[in-house]
Amino acid sequence: MSAAKRQRTCACCGTPFRDGQRTEVEPFIDDAIRYLAVLPGHSTYPPRPVRRLVPRAGPETPPLADAA
Ligand SMILES: [Zn+2]
């Protein structure tokens, strides 16, 4: 049984799936790996921050130096 048929609603917003509706599945780890069905373009993940909130390992992009 697909995640969509099991859930019947979008894991993101709760909108009921219609028969034959295209859905996307995203992994969700909760003790075991589960899959959540969502409407296309929906996600249960938090939106990616525009600004970096958590520093990532790797080369820093130097700030634009206003060197005059
Ligand atoms: Zn949704």
Q: Are the CB atoms for 3 and 36 separated by under 8 Å? A: yes
How remote is the CA of residue 63 from the centroid of ligand 1, in Å? Answer: 37
Which residues does 49 contact at the CB level (< 8 Å), separation at least 6? none
Distance 53 CA to ligand 1 centre (A): 25
Write down the pLDDT at residue 60: 66
Confidence of residue 68 (pLDDT cuts 50, 70, 90): low
| pLDDT-above-90 percentage for the chain | 34
Ligand 1 mean position, distance from CA 34 (Å): 17
- Residue 18 pLDDT more than 80? yes
pLDDT tens, 24-51? 999 888 888 889 999 999 998 876 667 6
What pLDDT score was predicted for residue 11? 93
Beta-strand (E) ranges in the chain?
24-30, 32-38
β-pair partners for 29 = 33
Whole-number Cα distances in Å, 52 to 1, 28, 58, 63: 38, 23, 13, 13
